[in-house]
């Protein structure tokens, strides 16, 4: 399993670096959004949901979040993400 993850990383890291350097910012944002939605759909399958319509609920929420994030400034996004991670760590420590 670890061997497969390392091999995947060795393949995907150069592709990611190439995409960051060669794509326009708009194209990179669209590609990143598609990957996030694909990952959200994948995670919805891992949640053990039985009905297919319910699989689409989590990706739909992520789509709304991504569309709302278009109007946020980057420092605000970083601050919000940092506060969420801090809350998660504190919750983990004190629970």
| Model pLDDT for residues 17-34, shown as the tens digit of each residue | 998 899 888 888 888 888
pLDDT value at position 1? 76
Mean pLDDT of 66-72: 80
pLDDT the model gives residue 75 = 78
Enter the pTM of the model: 0.63
How far apart are the C-alpha atoms of 37 and 22, rounded to whole Å?
22
Mean model confidence pLDDT for the chain: 84
The pLDDT assigned to 10 comes to 92
Q: Are 40 and 59 in contact (CB under 8 A)?
A: yes
Give the helix/strand (H/E) hosting 39.
helix 25-46
């Amino acid at each position: 399993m670890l061997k497969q993850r390392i091999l995947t990383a060795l393949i995907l890291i150069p592709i990611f670096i190439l995409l960051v350097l060669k794509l326009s910012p708009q194209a990179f944002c669209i590609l990143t959004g598609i990957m996030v939605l694909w990952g959200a759909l994948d995670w919805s399958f891992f949640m053990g949901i039985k009905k297919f319509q319910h699989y689409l609920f989590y990706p739909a929420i992520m789509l709304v979040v991504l569309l709302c994030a278009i109007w946020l400034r980057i420092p605000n996004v970083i601050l919000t993400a940092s506060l969420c991670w801090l809350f998660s760590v504190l919750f983990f420590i004190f629970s």
